Each structure stands twice: as structure tokens, then as C-alpha cells.
């Protein structure tokens, strides 16, 4: 494929998994030889000017759902550091389309992109409007059905308009990228043509995350030599189920001196987890690293014997899951449809009934006592990345191939 000029638009200011995803995909397009111009909020541009690297994966592995540039959509909205009511946040999200459309048009005039790629955010339609004005295809990337997610986990006020705009954007985009078949079913049930939906799970940079990464220095840092280590890596939020992981491991940790839980990352749930560890009498066996620099994340993963995704929404595609797999460790995750799309039970990981912490404890106990099983799962995990093509550069290639295929169909239909 010849070089493509891509105009990438997002309004995400977060430095969590969203930032990792955005920067990784931009770099993947460029690796394939394509030109990418980025239109983003001012704070994001300033942050990128200070540090050209993607934000730390351990500094924010959420569900990788898209969030508004006004503020973190799963937190209390703020503006200029002050809390604002959610209705005002939603109005500002709508109003942001005006400056966003102007920025996109100004960038389009001298460069005439071949494609606009927009990361979906609540009430964001600037990308679609500009794509229509300049008659270029739009790829809409949807990492979470926000109208649904914010009803369940937030305080969405304009629920009807939010869902109607979300569905309209997904129908009208040239292609809508969703991260799981489960999410595709949500949109298909709401009237989005299946032919518009491109299911594309998240990925990993296999140059940084691979089985040869050495975790021995991390083990020495935290006194883990000779220990069997179960861990979680990510921005720790209450719904990630890390409290369930501590519950599942409590008996093992109280009963022996050679097993540890390593929580890599920070987040709003950490204080409660520290209190829980004290209450369970396992405080000495649970290590909290705090936020970790991005370049150190692979080594922290390599320090684990078992990497756990305690819980996840039914439609998400957690970046941490692909990093777990790529590093070649035994992976344990909840048995949800979106997780089964990636992990084959007993081959590339182990699954347990969602939020059944007793069952999770049983799976972890089996693996902790069976080094051969851990090794076999680790090999299967690493192989799954190759088999599934779960790399950012593969995703970038799929996007462009899907757009090219659709354009060719339109040319044939119009002949």
C-alpha cells in the first residue's frame, strides 16, 4: 500500500492506558510508512512536547475506554481544577466540537489528508463533520460504548441524546473499530450495520514486551528471590477486582513464606487495598510498587510467575492482558465472552467464573503448585500474540486494509 496521509483526532488528556493506546497506534502507522498529523487538546500537546514517550502503562491501565477531553469520564468532572456538575460537563463536551472542527479544518487545508481517524469521545462529532466536508473516509475507533458505560458507572444526564449520537456516529463512519465481538453485538443490536463494524482487539508492542525480558532486577528490588509471585499491573480502580485477588490469595499468603502478591501501579483503589491487606493479616506478603516508569513495566511483568486480570467489563479489551500474554507468563482472567475471544482455556491462560474469588483462589493454588503448568501456559500465551496478530502494527495495517477494501467496493458499485 502506498503512503497514506492520516489526520488523527482525539480529545483525551489522560496519561493512562488511553495515552498508551493513542501513541502506540500513531507510531504503528508511522512504522508502516504513513504520515500522521495529530489534532488533540492543548494539554495533551504540551504533555507530548515535554515527553515524547507514551505514558506509563502502569500509570493507568483502565478498561481503555474512551473518555472526554473535558475530564476523566469515570470521575467527578472538573474544569480548571474545580468540580462541575455532570450536565455542564456534557454541554462542554458538545461545545468542544466547534473548536475541534475548526482545528481539523485548518489542518486539512494545507495537507488534504487521505483519511481521518478519530478516537471516539462522548458527544464528539467533529471528525465525522469534517470528513464529510472534505469528502474523505472516517475511521471511528470506539473503545467503550460510553452512553452505556456512563449510565452504569457514572452520572450521565443526557442519556437519550448521548446514545443517539453514539449510534449515529457508528452508522455514518466509513468503518467503526470496536475492540471485541461483544461490543460489536451491542452496537449491532442498536441498529449499526454489521458491515460497518471492524472488530479489532487492542495490541502490544512486541519489541518491548516479549518472553526474553528479564525480571530478576525487579525481584531483587522487592525481595522476591525464591518466591512465587502473583501480580496485577495497571492503574488500580475499584472495579478491577484487585480486592478479589487479595481475598483469593489470603489463605495461601498466611500459610507460607514463599508466595507474594505484587501490585504494580497506583490508583484510587490502592488505599482501600492496603487496609484490606492489613485486615486480612497479609500486609507483609503484598507489595505495592506505586506508579512505575513505562520503560520499567516489561521487567515488572517478567518478575511475575502468574499475571492476573481479576475483573473486566464484558466488552473491554484490556491492554494489560496483551502485555501479560506477550511477556510469556501464566495468565489468569475472568471467563467473560470478550476474554474468551483472546484466551483459550488451558492453552493460553486459565479462566475462572467472574467475581468468584474462591474459584480464582483454587486456580491460583493449582498453578502455584505446578511449575510445569505455569511454563506451558506461558508458552501458549506468547504464541497467542503471534497467532492472533495482537500487535499495534498489525492493527494499523488492518485499519488501512479495511478502508481500502470499502473504497474499492464503492468504486465498483458506482461504475
Same structural domain for residues 166 and 17?
Answer: yes
pLDDT in tens, 363-381: 999 999 999 999 999 999 9
Does residue 295 contact residue 325 with C-beta atoms inside 8 Å?
no
Phi and psi at 230, nearest 5°, equal -105, 135
128 domain residue, yes or no: yes
Check whether residue 398 and residue 334 sit in a common domain: no
**Which residues does residue 138 pair with via DSSP β-bridges, in sequence order?**
116
Instruction: Give the model's pLDDT for residue 411.
Output: 37
pLDDT attached to residue 109? 86
Q: Comparing C-alpha atoms, which of 363, 252, 256, 356 is closest to residue 307?
A: 363
What would the grid cell of residue 46 be? 504540551
Would you state the pLDDT for residue 294? 87
Asked if residue 329 and residue 229 are part of one domain, the reply reads yes
pLDDT recorded at residue 50:
40
Looking at the structure, do residues 122 and 45 belong to the same domain, yes or no?
Answer: yes
Does residue 208 form part of some domain? no
What's the domain range around 362? Answer: 216-388
User: Tell me, what's the pLDDT at 62?
Assistant: 36
225 and 148 belong to one structural domain: no
Supply the pLDDT for residue 405. Answer: 75
User: Are residues 231 and 197 part of one domain?
Assistant: no
Q: What pLDDT score was predicted for residue 1?
A: 62
> pLDDT (tens digit, 0 to 9) for every residue of the chain, 415 residues total?
689 999 999 988 756 678 888 999 999 999 999 999 999 886 555 444 444 333 334 443 333 333 333 334 445 677 767 788 888 888 999 999 999 999 999 999 888 899 999 999 999 999 999 999 999 999 999 998 888 887 776 678 888 999 999 999 999 999 999 999 999 999 999 999 999 999 999 999 999 999 999 999 999 999 999 999 999 999 898 889 999 999 999 999 997 779 999 999 999 999 999 999 999 999 999 999 999 998 999 999 999 999 999 999 989 999 999 999 999 999 999 999 999 999 999 999 999 999 999 999 999 999 999 999 999 999 999 999 999 999 999 999 999 999 987 655 543 344 3
pLDDT of residue 65: 35
Q: Are residues 130 and 269 in the same domain?
A: no
Pair (17, 63) in one structural domain: yes
Q: Indicate if 31 and 141 belong to the same structural domain.
A: yes
C-alpha cell at 333: 482472567
Count of domains forming the chain = 2
Are residues 48 and 196 located together in one domain of the fold? Answer: yes
pTM for this prediction: 0.88
| Same domain (yes/no): 67, 87 | yes
d(C-alpha 37, C-alpha 106), whole Å: 12
Q: How far apart are the C-alpha atoms of 341 and 388, rounded to whole Å?
A: 10
- Does 210 fall in a domain? no
CA dihedral in degrees (89, 8, 55, 297; nearest 10)? 130
- Say if strands 82-83 and 78-79 run parallel, antiparallel, or are unpaired: antiparallel
Listed in sequence order, the DSSP H helices in 59-199 are: 86-95, 97-111, 126-134, 146-153, 159-172, 181-189
Distance between CA atoms of 297 and 319, rounded to whole angstroms? 13
- 398 assigned to some structural domain: yes
17 part of a folded domain: yes
CATH classification at residue 63: 3.40.50.2000
Which candidate, 165, 131, 129, places its Cα nearest to that of 145?
165
At 305 the pLDDT is: 98
- 356, 410: one domain: no
CA 55/CA 19 separation, integer angstroms: 6
Residue 211 lies in a domain: no
CA distance 71 to 77: 6
Angle at 349 between CA 233 and CA 199, to 5 degrees: 80
pLDDT attached to residue 275: 97
Check residue 57 and give its pLDDT. 41
Amino acid at each position: 500500500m502506498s503512503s497514506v496521509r492520516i489526520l488523527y483526532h482525539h480529545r483525551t488528556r489522560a496519561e493512562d492506558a488511553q495515552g498508551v493506546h493513542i501513541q502506540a497506534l500513531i507510531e504503528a502507522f508511522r512504522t508502516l510508512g504513513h504520515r500522521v498529523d495529530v489534532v488533540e487538546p492543548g494539554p495533551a500537546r504540551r504533555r507530548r512536547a515535554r515527553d515524547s514517550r507514551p505514558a506509563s502503562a502502569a500509570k493507568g491501565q483502565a478498561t481503555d475506554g474512551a473518555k472526554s477531553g473535558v475530564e476523566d469520564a469515570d470521575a467527578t468532572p472538573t474544569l480548571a481544577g474545580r468540580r462541575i456538575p455532570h450536565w455542564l460537563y456534557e454541554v462542554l463536551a458538545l461545545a468542544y466540537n466547534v473548536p475541534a472542527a475548526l482545528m481539523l479544518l485548518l489542518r486539512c487545508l494545507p495537507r488534504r489528508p487521505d483519511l481521518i481517524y478519530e478516537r471516539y469521545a462522548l458527544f464528539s462529532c467533529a471528525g465525522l463533520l469534517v470528513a464529510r466536508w472534505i469528502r474523505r473516509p472516517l475511521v471511528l475507533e470506539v473503545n467503550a460504548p460510553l452512553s452505556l458505560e456512563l449510565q452504569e458507572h457514572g452520572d450521565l444526564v443526557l442519556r437519550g441524546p448521548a446514545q443517539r449520537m453514539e449510534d449515529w456516529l457508528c452508522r455514518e463512519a466509513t468503518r467503526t473499530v470496536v475492540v471485541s465481538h461483544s461490543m460489536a453485538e451491542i452496537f449491532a443490536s442498536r441498529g449499526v450495520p454489521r458491515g460497518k463494524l471492524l472488530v479489532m482487539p487492542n495490541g502490544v508492542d512486541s519489541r518491548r514486551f516479549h518472553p526474553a525480558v528479564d525480571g530478576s532486577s525487579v525481584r531483587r528490588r522487592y525481595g522476591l528471590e525464591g518466591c512465587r509471585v502473583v501480580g496485577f499491573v495497571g492503574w488500580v480502580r475499584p472495579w478491577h477486582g484487585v480486592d478479589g485477588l487479595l481475598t483469593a490469595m489470603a489463605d495461601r499468603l498466611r500459610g507460607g513464606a514463599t508466595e507474594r502478591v505484587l501490585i504494580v501501579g497506583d490508583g484510587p483503589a490502592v488505599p482501600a487495598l492496603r487496609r484490606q491487606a492489613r485486615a486480612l493479616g497479609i500486609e507483609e506478603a503484598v507489595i505495592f510498587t506505586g506508579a512505575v516508569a513505562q520503560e520499567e513495566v516489561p521487567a515488572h511483568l517478567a518478575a511475575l510467575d502468574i499475571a492476573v486480570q481479576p475483573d473486566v467489563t464484558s466488552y473491554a479489551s484490556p491492554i494489560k492482558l496483551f502485555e501479560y500474554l506477550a511477556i510469556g507468563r501464566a495468565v489468569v482472567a475472568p471467563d467473560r465472552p470478550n476474554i474468551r475471544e483472546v484466551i483459550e482455556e488451558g492453552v493460553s491462560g486459565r479462566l475462572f467464573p467472574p467475581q468468584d474469588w474462591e474459584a480464582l483462589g483454587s486456580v491460583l493454588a493449582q498453578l502455584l503448585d505446578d511449575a510445569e503448568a505455569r511454563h506451558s501456559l506461558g508458552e501458549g500465551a506468547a504464541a497467542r500474540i503471534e497467532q492472533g496478530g495482537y500487535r499495534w502494527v498489525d492493527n494499523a495495517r488492518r485499519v488501512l486494509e479495511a478502508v481500502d477494501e470499502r473504497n474499492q467496493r464503492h468504486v465498483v458499485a458506482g461504475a
